[in-house]
């Protein structure tokens, strides 16, 4: 099932540049992150230092005056709680550019703005939000110098830590997409994100709609050809279960991703970085060229027996 369509917007966005109103609909469960998950996020951000660090996708649906948050609710809520904590305890002048509101808790936006121990006892969602706030407090108090730690965390969020921003059109079936990502446990793959990079409706895209349609058709044709098992098993002896789509293999080869690399979005990050330096049209030509070379090897009788698995 391929949910990437030409009406999406994809970018890697700094946490500090996230803005707007986010609405969490009733088909989602409330905030449920445990202490170890909050600690892990803080440790990852802090120990990553000055290097760029990218969190997993946040999937939203653009509505008239807000975003419907389809996936990434737990991460985005935790980041908000973290920023509110830093604002209250260390940097009262900073401004938070986004807000969150849970459909099932009409006063959730106010509670997130001012986390209160007494109100935390009124429902399970507020209890987990308050617990995350106390966990963040404990993490900072456990640092050698909590003020320096707060400065660094805030700086990293503003300048280094990114999220994969995946925005679908208002016409998208949000419940179907949520079901696929969270209940079906079929996450967005690197290949889907790379394809979305080419088909994004971003006004700054280097591809016009006609070229995007051409790329979409060529992409699907490559995927179809790779479903020739004779070609596929000439190219790889890896289990087919490893790939949700077979074009992932071509993209992994170009990115240099090794078989033992466990970084989920390594290949997407490679192409996202490449997109900062090269034209999208040139990147697509390279993908096509790589596939055609491999196909030529497969069709060459002598090379077939020397190279293939």
Distant-in-sequence, close-in-space partners of 246: CB < 8 Å, separation ≥ 6: 223, 226, 227, 232, 240
What is the gyration radius of the CA atoms in the chain, in angstroms?
22
Cα separation, 190 vs 250, in Å, equals 11
Q: With bands split at pLDDT 50, 70 and 90, how would you rate the model's confidence at 4?
A: very low
DSSP assignment letter at 4: -
Q: Which helix (H) or strand (E) holds 191?
A: helix 190-199
Distant-in-sequence, close-in-space partners of 271: CB < 8 Å, separation ≥ 6: 194, 197, 251, 255, 283
Length of the chain: 309
pLDDT at 3: 41
Q: How far is CA 152 from each of CA 43, 88, 293, rounded to the nearest angstrom?
A: 12, 16, 47
Cα separation, 109 vs 252, in Å, equals 42
**Cβ proximity of 137 and 85 under 8 Å:** yes
pLDDT at 262: 86
Cα separation, 163 vs 15, in Å, equals 7
Q: With bands split at pLDDT 50, 70 and 90, how would you rate the model's confidence at 201?
A: confident
Short-list 272, 274, 280, CA closest to 208: 280
Cα separation, 32 vs 123, in Å, equals 12
Is the pLDDT score of 203 beyond 60? no
Q: With bands split at pLDDT 50, 70 and 90, how would you rate the model's confidence at 204?
A: low
Mean of the per-residue pLDDT values of the chain: 90
pLDDT at 2: 46
Q: What pLDDT, in 10s, does the model give residues 139-159?
A: 999 999 999 999 999 999 999
Q: What pLDDT, in 10s, does the model give residues 71-83?
A: 999 999 999 999 9
Q: What pLDDT, in 10s, does the model give residues 172-194?
A: 999 999 998 987 677 889 999 99
| Cα separation of the two ends of the chain | 28
Tabulate helix, strand, coil % of the chain (nearest 5).
55, 15, 30
Q: What pLDDT, in 10s, does the model give residues 51-66?
A: 788 999 999 999 999 9
Q: What pLDDT, in 10s, does the model give residues 113-125?
A: 999 999 898 899 9
Cα separation, 274 vs 98, in Å, equals 29
Cα separation, 206 vs 283, in Å, equals 11
Q: Which helix (H) or strand (E) holds 298?
A: helix 280-299
Instruction: Supply the DSSP string of 143-189, one letter for each residue.
Output: SSSHHHHHHHHHHHHHHTEEEEEEEE-TTS-HHHHHIIIIIS--PPP
Is the pLDDT score of 5 beyond 70? no
**Cβ proximity of 16 and 159 under 8 Å:** yes
pLDDT at 141: 96
Q: What pLDDT, in 10s, does the model give residues 233-253?
A: 889 887 655 788 999 999 999
Is the pLDDT score of 106 beyond 60? yes
Q: With bands split at pLDDT 50, 70 and 90, how would you rate the model's confidence at 266?
A: very high
Q: What pLDDT, in 10s, does the model give residues 287-309?
A: 999 999 999 999 876 766 666 55
Distant-in-sequence, close-in-space partners of 273: CB < 8 Å, separation ≥ 6: none
Could you tell me the pTM of the whole model? 0.85
Tally Cβ neighbours within 10 Å of residue 233. Answer: 13
* Three-state DSSP class for residue 119: helix
């Amino acid at each position: 099932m391929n949910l990437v369509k030409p009406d999406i917007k994809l970018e890697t966005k700094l946490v500090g540049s996230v803005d707007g109103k986010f609405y969490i609909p009733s088909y989602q469960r409330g905030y449920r992150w445990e202490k170890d998950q909050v600690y892990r996020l803080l440790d990852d951000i802090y120990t990553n230092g000055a290097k760029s660090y990218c969190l997993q996708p946040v999937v939203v649906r653009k509505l008239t005056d807000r975003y419907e948050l389809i996936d990434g609710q737990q991460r985005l809520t935790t980041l908000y709680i973290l920023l509110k904590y830093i604002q209250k305890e260390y940097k009262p002048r900073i401004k938070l550019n986004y807000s969150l509101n849970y459909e099932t808790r009409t006063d959730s936006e106010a509670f997130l703005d001012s986390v209160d121990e007494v109100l935390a006892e009124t429902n399970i969602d507020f209890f987990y939000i308050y617990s995350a706030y106390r966990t963040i407090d404990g993490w900072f108090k456990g640092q050698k110098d909590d003020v320096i730690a707060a400065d660094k965390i805030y700086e990293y969020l503003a300048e280094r830590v990114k999220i994969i921003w995946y925005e679908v059109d208002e016409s998208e079936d949000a419940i179907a997409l949520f079901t696929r990502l969270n209940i079906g446990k079929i996450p967005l793959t690197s290949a889907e994100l790379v394809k979305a990079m080419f088909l994004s409706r971003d006004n700054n895209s280097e591809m016009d709609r006609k070229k995007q349609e051409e790329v979409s058709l060529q992409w699907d044709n490559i995927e179809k050809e790779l479903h020739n098992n004779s070609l596929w098993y000439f190219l790889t002896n890896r289990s087919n279960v490893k790939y949700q789509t077979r074009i992932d293999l071509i993209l992994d080869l170009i990115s240099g991703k090794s078989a033992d690399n466990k970084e989920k979005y390594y290949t997407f990050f490679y192409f996202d970085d490449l997109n900062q330096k090269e034209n999208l049209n040139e990147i697509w030509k390279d993908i096509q060229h790589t596939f055609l070379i491999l196909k030529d090897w497969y069709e060459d009788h002598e090379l077939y027996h020397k190279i293939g698995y």
